[in-house]
Structure 1
Amino acid sequence: MNKIKYITLCFAALLSCSEDNDDVLQTLATYTQGRVFEMGAVIACAASDKDTGEVLAFYYLESQASDIRFYETNNAQVDENDFTNYTRNSIREEPFFNGYLGKFTQSADHEKWIIITFELDGEIKMSNPIRLKQISKPTVWNDDVTINQSQSGMPHFMWEDNPFGDNAIYFQVVSDESDNLLSGTYTYENQFQYYNTNNVVLNVTTKTPPNLVLSENYNFTVMDVSLDNWVNWVIEKPFIAE
């Protein structure tokens, strides 16, 4: 009797393991087969870490989204629009800017394409393909930004335009000292003013940004994103509100 129980338990464990492996090895084509999906519905990009060289994939997680997934190709020499080339990687997502955004961190010894997905309202939402360039074009990190605070509480940020020659858009974040995101915006121009959306082409800030408190510490971050969603350049600069 005990032997029968043991065999049954082993079989169940093997079945569970097999199901887990099938899920991990599932292609994007299999996942989307017979499902409603939307390309470009997940705002995402990727960069190489300034210290470790690891790949950091960032994405905006919409409220009520679930089943976040990371798909990757074997290399970069494939058709990035063919879903059969993408296999699921079970790496865990992490909070970024205290959960306002999400992040995947991965050590990768070769370049490839990735797609990030989640489910929302019964549909599969997908990012556009992201081309990893951590070897051929590692992300440059610096603090080269000019901050003009002549208008109190509305700092104006300006940086060099398109220094690497293939910029598509800029993503800016103003955060507080605790790394809480206060403002998240996209512009085509190499300048942004807090609380001013005149040149903003996409706004991921869900609430009206709070007024900056004079003499308090804040941080500014901008990402120079290419057409294939690789981050060429990251600027990080702390500042004190004036």
Structure 2
Amino acid sequence: MTIKNFLITVFIPFFLFSCTEDNDITVPRNLQEYIEAASNTDSGDFFAYAASASGSTSTTYIYTAPETGATDIRYYEADIPEVGQPDLSNYRRQNLTAKDVFEGELKRFTRSDSEEKWCLVTYMLDGELHKSNPIRLKNVTNPTSWTDEVSIEFPTTLNPKFTWSDFGVDDNTIYFESISEVDDDTFVSGTYTLDKTFQYFDTSNVESSLNTSKTPDDLVEDTEYLFTMMAISDDYWVNTVILETFVPRNLEEYVALNSSKTIESALAFAASSSGSKSLSYIYYDFLTGSSAMRYYETDNTLVGKNDFSNYRRKMLKDEAVYGGKLRRYNRTDDAESWCIITYVIGETLHISNPVKIKNQNRPTEWFTDLTIDASESLMPKFTWADGSYKENVQYLEIVTDSDSDLLSGTFTEDKMFQYYDTSNVTSKINLETPAALILNEDYKITVMGLSDDFWVNLMIQENFTAE
């Protein structure tokens, strides 16, 4: 036998065998052939849908909820893009692996391809083949919109009501809503409605549910949850995804829970980051012994700032600044709102003044321009001018050393401050007498101009050397 005949004898049967297999290594067999080969085939469809990843036209997620006990979950894709649904013989298996979402209540394939096609999912259950509805991928022509815009009302503390819009889209036919815990992604509830509203846990408008085994548990106060909504079109493409966190129990309810404690005021103020309208810093005066620090926020700036029922808790992380004399929350959100910070010292609940976050209409102006008069040894005098916004009612002056530790923190109503001179100081952050400056050492002065709603319009930072 010649070498050529030997190769033909060996490789042609191997090639023909590969073309009939449909496994994780070779996947040439089409869906129609797979269906015909399966015994006890169930031709009924199950529900599946797809969404493009946020900001991407090349990453697509395909979701489905197989029945308990389902095995061999497969993803198929049509060979050619068509306006109409392709024949099943045009679908070929793709080697994608389904991952768990919401503790396995949903399965999700991740597809990396910008080409638009039709796809579907299959699985086996009790020896029967089940296949999903065909899904039209529209990742380029109609990429999924991701947003956090949803109205969350609380008819009762533990029964939030979610309402949303179609955002101008006219082909949404059904909506998926889920609630999960943020800390560990624990699944709580999953429902489908035809309405653009859902209340936990009211099933009066629920068409179907992932909560097949039992009624979901009650929500828990002061626990952070994630609300997810997917608006699904008649060709099973997700037009919109909403992601928004919420925490049951508002500030009014929290204060009532601590009614036995003495209430005292606390200082807070906020500024937007340099050049940003989405990142804001919320500062508060940190007192020794403080614990249970909390950040609360309203939905917008139109509500009454002194009505604590308008304030919902947000689980933001804070950090020490200026040597720990102040702490600061970092907030990433374009929306403007009122905010309040609370903390506990012993049997006293400290509640800050309401702070109006004005990151859109009054983004903080950051400068390095101020005058330093060093004519008096080690007692520099700082003077400055307002920026574009002429509405500052007080100024906070912070002097730090080269290690960023706070030496002095003072408030004045004048656009002037002299180190170690308290003649025009109205209040102070540091209660102890500031340390004397050291000749030829480097320091930093920060000046913040605050409006009467505790928004920082002006931020000046400048390094200087003690003379």
Q: Is the deviation greater in 82-91 or in 156-165? A: 156-165
| Structure 1 unaligned regions, length at least 5 | 1-12
Q: Select the structure of larger CA radius of gyration.
A: 2
**Structure 1 position 51, deviation (Å):** 4.2
1:49 to 1:215, Cα distance in 2 relative to 1, 3 A: same
2-structure distance, mates of 1:182, 1:108: 32
User: How big is each residue's C-alpha offset from its partner over 1:108-128, in whole Å with a ceiling of 9 and x where there is no partner?
Assistant: 121010001111231211111
Corresponding residue of 1:210: 435
Corresponding residue of 1:121: 346
SS at match of 1:98: helix
1-structure distance, mates of 2:418, 2:389: 23
1:17 to 1:97, Cα distance in 2 relative to 1, 3 A: farther
SS at match of 2:323: coil
Q: Residue 100 in 1 paired to residue 361 in 2? A: no
**Match of residue 76, structure 1, among 267, 284, 301:** 301
| Structure 2 unaligned regions, length at least 5 | 1-186, 189-216, 226-245
1-structure distance, mates of 2:287, 2:324: 11
Q: Which has the higher contact order (CA 8 A, sep 6+)?
A: 1
**Structure 1 position 98, deviation (Å):** 2.6
Corresponding residue of 2:242: none
Q: Is residue 262–residue 347 contact of structure 2 (8 Å, CA) maintained in 1?
A: no
1:16 to 1:237, Cα distance in 2 relative to 1, 3 A: farther
TM-score by length of 1: 0.88
**Structure 1 position 61, deviation (Å):** 0.6
1:1-242 to 2 correspondences below 5 Å: 18-19=220-221, 20-21=223-224, 24-33=247-256, 35=259, 36=261, 38=263, 41-53=265-277, 54-161=279-386, 164-242=389-467
Q: Is residue 140–residue 233 contact of structure 1 (8 Å, CA) maintained in 2?
A: yes
1:163 to 1:151, Cα distance in 2 relative to 1, 3 A: farther
1:199 to 1:237, Cα distance in 2 relative to 1, 3 A: same
**Structure 1 position 17, deviation (Å):** 7.8
Structure that is richer in helix per residue:
1
Letter in 2 for 1:48: S
2-structure distance, mates of 1:133, 1:44: 14
SS at match of 1:33: helix
Q: Is residue 174–residue 181 contact of structure 1 (8 Å, CA) maintained in 2?
A: yes
1-structure distance, mates of 2:218, 2:431: 40
Q: Is residue 144–residue 159 contact of structure 1 (8 Å, CA) maintained in 2?
A: yes
TM-score by length of 2: 0.47
Q: Is residue 395–residue 412 contact of structure 2 (8 Å, CA) maintained in 1?
A: yes
